[in-house]
A and B are shown apart, each in its own frame.
Chain A
Amino acid sequence: MDTASFIIQQLINALFLGSIFALIALGYTMVYGIIELINFAHGELFTAGAFIGIIVLAALQKTGFVESHFVITLILVFGMAMAYVAVLGVAIEHVAYKPLRRASRLAAILSALGMSIFLSNGMMLSQGVSDRAYPSILGIEGFSILDARITYGQVFIIVLSLLLMVALQMFVNWTKLGKAMRATAQNQTMARMLGIDIDKTIRVTFMIGPALGAAAGVMVGLYYGSVRFDMGFIYMIKAFAAAILGGIGSIPGAVLGGMIIGGVEVLWSAFLPSEWKDVTTFVVLILVLYLRPSGILGEHVSETRV
């Protein structure tokens, strides 16, 4: 493989992995932005999305629907996984976080950790402890640019991720509800004094963030071909690092952080022993936080101006 092909191949790999991390990181950053809580159950919501995907897909495969209606299948799989996890996200907020909104930060964090353990064990009991094979409906067909091999599945996942991120950006910047969410994140008391129902904006945040995580879960399942109840952990750690790296609370920051973490990991794997690739995430994180403690796009505005 020549150098140009090699670069293209690695670029696609980086974009793919970066998109996945970015989607998950968005969930962390949005929830942190609005209630200043790290939702430790987010990794489990990602995994739950992957499981819903596999359940829907298996059911559709039995009827032969997948072959006859491929596009509708994809819409159903992603749609149902995202919808289910959105509901789960709202339920978690209602049960585990809302009652603690006025309590200390530590209480909410412990509640989040508890929710994470609860969901993880729930999935272990209901879905088993071993790897579950994901129906490989995306196939291995693709095309070549020079000697670089790119599958349609990769292209689909990258394009879908980007579409979701653009849709999110449009929602928070252009819609009334999206703006109300940003207002709530920036100043809750003032938002309430303008008539904004912050319970509602918080609920919507807990729908969108987890739904994006669920989409990433389905993508990982479809691409790597298997899921397990504890697969959320490593993704959670890296996406969390991505959110911090980009500047927690910042939506563009989460996307940027995800892409950087994905890119560095791919770069490392291309040249150096890949069993060490997980370390790279944290090396990058430590370096950035050392040089810029609030993350790359992190804001100081809210702290310095009262």
Chain B
Amino acid sequence: MASEQPILKLEDVHTYYGNIHALKGVSCAIPSGDIACLIGANGAGKSTTLLTIFGVQRAAEGKILYKGREIHHLRPEQVAALGVSQTPEGRQIFPRMTTLENLEMGAFLRGDKVAVAEDMEWVFSLFPVLQERTRQLGGTLSGGEQQMLAIGRALMSRPELLLLDEPSLGLAPKLVEKIFETILEISKSGVTIFLVEQNAHMALSISNTGYVMETGRIVLTDKASDLLQNEKVKKAYLGE
């Protein structure tokens, strides 16, 4: 694994919101096929990290490499075209488009209709409830359904790298479990997953690698299973 090029690599990335220094030199490397998670408190910069990878926020300094290629100067639509997709904070469902149309938008860049239809079937097999809601407007779905739709939409581009921002936020515990099971299933299909979570226990238990973020910096990197045993992590993020 050490010799293999990571699918995503951040080198000393700094991001600003106006005068606020949100990311203060973030570095990490995610191997292809991995599930990695970024945990940390509210406001630590987790979502900003994902938005910066996608070019929604500009990296003021540092490098972001996707399969060895620099992407930190690219616009979001260009990053999407490289095979990266994201379920952003707040799900960002198109409220006045149907479930079906939301999924279709996920496949916007693809022309292969047959393969798109296959992937649609796959998404419906992962989340059967979406199939019952195809004609319903996105804005009228429940929170859980919207979360499933957001993940489904992100999968419709057949991504190689999937960025998930807080997939468990606001969901009932049973549904959270279901979502994380599905994430494992998606990972088995060959998609690399970079997960941002406040539900640290859940996130670490499905990940291989874990990163702990505090005020714009990654302060701890380790195997996820070791982080689960780490006394500091236990105290700060696992509530033990």
Residues of A within 8 A of B (CB): 176, 179-180, 182-183, 186-187, 189-198, 299, 301-302, 305-306
Q: Is A193's CB under 8 angstroms from B56's CB?
A: yes
Closest chain A residue to B104, Cβ basis: A179
B54 engages A195 (CB within 8 Å): no
**Is the pair A195, B77 in contact by a Cβ cutoff of 8 Å?**
yes
> Which of B25-33, B95-103, B118-126, B222-230 contacts its partner?
B95-103
State whether A195 touches B109 (Cβ < 8 A). yes
Q: Are B95 and A302 in contact (CB under 8 A)?
A: yes
User: Do A179 and B157 touch across chains, with their CB atoms under 8 A apart?
Assistant: no
Q: Which residues on the B side are within 8 Å of A190 (C-beta)?
A: 88, 92, 94
- Determine the distance from Cα of A186 to Cα of B93 in the docked complex, in whole angstroms: 9
Asked whether, in the complex, the Cβ of B56 is within 8 Å of the Cβ of A299, the reply is no
Determine which of B90, B96, B153 lies in contact with A194 in the assembled complex, contact meaning CB atoms within 8 Å: B153
Is B76 positioned at the interface, with any CB of A under 8 Å from its CB? yes
B86 touches A193 (CB 8 A): yes
B75–A179 CB distance below 8 A:
no
Query: Which chain A residue shows the least CB distance to B84?
Result: A193
Indicate if B105 sits at the interface (CB-CB under 8 A): yes
Could you tell me if B108 and A187 are in contact, using CB atoms closer than 8 angstroms? no
Closest to A173 in B: B101
Give the distance to chain B from A105, nearest Cβ to Cβ, in Å: 18
A27 to chain B, nearest CB (A): 20
Q: Give CA–CA (A187, B88) in the complex, Å.
A: 12
Give how many B residues have a beta carbon under 8 Å from the other chain's beta carbons.
26
Provide 15 A-B residue pairs closer than 8 Å at the C-beta atoms, listed in order of the A residue: A179-B101, A179-B104, A183-B94, A183-B105, A187-B94, A190-B92, A192-B76, A192-B77, A194-B106, A194-B108, A194-B109, A195-B77, A195-B81, A195-B109, A197-B77
With A195-B108, A196-B108 known as contacts, the answer to whether A186 contacts B76 (CB < 8 A) is no
- A192: min CB distance to chain B, Å: 4
Interface residues of B (CB under 8 A from A): 54, 56, 75-77, 79-81, 85-86, 88, 90, 92, 94-97, 101, 104-106, 108-109, 139, 153, 157
> Contact: A186 with B108, CB < 8 Å?
no
| Chain A contacts for B108, CB-based, 8 A | 176, 180, 194-196
Q: Is the CB of A194 within 8 A of B157?
A: yes
Q: B88 contacts which chain A residues (CB < 8 A)? A: 189-190, 193
Q: In the complex, what residues of B have CB within 8 A of residue A179's CB?
A: 97, 101, 104-105
* A197 cross-chain contacts in B, Cβ below 8 A: 77
Closest CB in chain A relative to B139 CB, distance in Å: 4
A189–B81 touching, CB < 8 Å: no
A301 touches B105 (CB 8 A): no
Query: Within the complex, which residue of B77, B80, B85, B97 is in contact with A186, where a contact is CB–CB below 8 Å?
Result: B97
Could you list 4 further interchain pairs (A-B, Cβ under 8 angstroms) beyond the known A193-B86, A299-B95, A305-B139?
A180-B105, A187-B94, A195-B108, A305-B95
Contacts of A189 in B (CB 8 A): 56, 76, 88, 92
Q: Determine whether the beta carbon of B96 is less than 8 Å from that of A193.
A: no
State the 4 A-B residue pairs at the shortest beta-carbon distance, nearest first: A195-B80, A195-B109, A192-B76, A190-B92
Cα A73 to Cα B97 with chains together (Å): 39
* B95→A301 contact, CB < 8 A: yes
Whose C-beta in chain B lies nearest to the C-beta of A249?
B96
Cβ B75 vs Cβ A192 within 8 A: yes
B97–A183 contact, CB under 8 A? yes
Q: Are B96 and A299 in contact (CB under 8 A)?
A: yes
Residues of A within 8 A of B85 (CB): 193-194
Chain B residues, Cβ within 8 Å of A195: 77, 80-81, 108-109, 157
How distant is the Cα of A305 from the Cα of B96 in the complex, in angstroms?
Answer: 12
B96's closest neighbor in chain A, by CB? A186
How many Å lie between the Cα of A183 and that of B76 in the bound state? 15
Do B80 and A194 have beta carbons less than 8 Å apart? yes
Interface centre among B56, B86, B94 (most CB of A within 10 A): B94
Point out which of A195, A196, A302, A305 has the most chain B C-beta atoms below 10 A from its C-beta. A195
Question: Given the interface contacts A192-B77, A195-B77, A196-B108, does A186 sit within 8 Å of B95 by beta carbon?
Answer: yes
Q: Which of A191, A198, A299 has the most CB of B within 10 A?
A: A191
Given contacts A193-B54, A195-B157, contact A187 B92 (CB under 8 A): yes
Q: How far apart sit A191 and B153, CA to CA, in the bound complex (Å)?
A: 12
